[in-house]
């Protein structure tokens, strides 16, 4: 466990974040925190605002109002320092399929200015850690979908972030690979004291998180433990609690 952030200290703080697209209020005064060593599931049906929130958290867009801080660095005033402390796996796969896994990671490390004496052993260790050493010399196109996502996870961890953002990162994976990725991230969180925000519309992925934040129509509808969510809705399962809370709207994508 690294010692630069106390366990339980906030690594992400969003305060009253709002974003509008024309007439659509995509986010409406969203406040949330992620602490070091904690995996938080951001659960919401299609159109809830998850992607919009991630775009603000990664500095791609600026909120209309409110603030985003990563380890105390304000995303608007000090984006370089804020971004230096976070890693992200985006919803859309973004690997060069022709590059070998090793070359892709080395390129990324160089791009981010990591000294090679540091980055090379770190890449080796992470490849080993995620069981990717046997495929390190292969071009990404020869890897399974699950392994490609793991390479993206390794890439996101190369600069030793304190906050990891996973934006519906299991899209397109089979159930076993999805479950494995969740476990890998949970372990990485424990080993490195990472704060993780895991956006998903799949309730089974949220079940493994320490805390669940339900986003619906741009607002935070619930923030707490999965068991407390079930209790608040007098529902037997997280799935039924989520459906009740979000209006029980028929939505295929929320069903795991
Ligand atoms: N660039 C845009 N222009 C106009 N409206 C947008 C834009 N991006 C998102 N929206 C709208 O903002 C709302 C939130 O969308 P967002 O993509 O953030 O939701 P989401 O929770 O990520 O959904 P999904 O699970 O389908 O990816 C939706 O009503 C969407 O139609």
Pocket around ligand 1 at a 6 A CB cut-off: 21, 24, 26, 44, 46-52, 201
Would the pTM of this model clear 0.80, i.e. be above it?
A: yes
Provide the mean pLDDT of the chain: 89
Query: Spelled out in words, what is the top-level CATH class assigned to the domain 10-85+162-254?
Result: alpha beta
Contact 200, 168 (CB under 8 A): yes
Is residue 79 a contact partner of residue 59, using CB atoms and an 8 Å limit? yes
Of 84, 52, 61, which Cα lies nearest the Cα of 71?
A: 84
CA of 182 to the centre of ligand 1 (A): 24
Q: CA-to-CA distance for 70 and 80, rounded, in angstroms?
A: 11
CA 47 to ligand 1 centroid distance, Å: 5
Tokens encoding 112? 């981010």
pLDDT in tens, 191-232: 888 999 999 888 888 988 999 999 999 999 999 999 999 999
Residue nearest atom 25 of ligand 1, based on CA coordinates: 46
Q: How far is CA 80 from CA 6, 20, 129, 191, 192, in A?
A: 22, 25, 29, 26, 22
Contacts of 86 (CB under 8 A, 6+ apart): 12, 57, 58, 70, 161, 162, 163, 164, 165
pLDDT tens by residue, 14-23: 999 999 999 9
Q: Whose CA is nearest to atom 30 of ligand 1?
A: 47
Asked whether residue 113 carries a pLDDT value surpassing 50, the answer given is yes
In the prediction, which pLDDT does 4 show? 59
> What does the pLDDT average to over 174-184?
86
Q: What is the pLDDT of residues 235-247, one digit of tens each?
A: 999 999 999 999 8
Give per-residue pLDDT as tens, 43-61.
999 899 999 999 999 999 9
Q: How do the domains of the chain map onto residue ranges?
A: 10-85+162-254, 99-160
């Amino acid at each position: 466990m690294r010692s630069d952030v106390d366990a339980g200290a906030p690594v992400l703080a969003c305060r009253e974040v709002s974003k509008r697209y024309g007439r659509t209020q995509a986010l409406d005064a969203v406040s949330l925190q992620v602490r070091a060593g904690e995996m938080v599931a951001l659960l919401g049906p299609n159109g809830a605002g998850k992607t919009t929130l991630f775009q603000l958290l990664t500095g791609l867009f600026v909120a209309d109002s409110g603030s985003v801080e990563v380890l105390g660095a304000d995303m608007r005033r000090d984006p370089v320092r804020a971004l230096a402390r976070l890693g992200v796996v985006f919803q859309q796969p973004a690997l060069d399929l022709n590059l070998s896994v090793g070359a892709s990671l080395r390129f990324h490390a160089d791009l981010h200015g990591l000294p090679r004496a540091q980055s090379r052993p770190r890449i080796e260790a992470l490849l080993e850690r995620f069981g990717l050493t046997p495929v390190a010399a292969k071009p990404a196109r020869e890897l399974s979908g699950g392994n490609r996502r793991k390479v993206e996870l390794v890439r996101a961890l190369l600069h030793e972030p304190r906050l990891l953002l996973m934006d519906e990162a299991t899209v397109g994976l089979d159930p076993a690979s999805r479950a494995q990725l969740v476990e890998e991230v949970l372990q990485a969180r424990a080993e490195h004291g990472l704060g993780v925000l895991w956006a998903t519309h799949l309730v089974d992925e949220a079940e493994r998180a320490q805390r669940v934040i339900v986003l619906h129509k741009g607002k935070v509808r619930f923030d707490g433990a999965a068991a407390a969510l079930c209790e608040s809705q007098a529902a037997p399962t997280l799935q039924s609690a989520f459906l009740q809370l979000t209006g029980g709207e028929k939505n295929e994508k929320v069903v795991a």
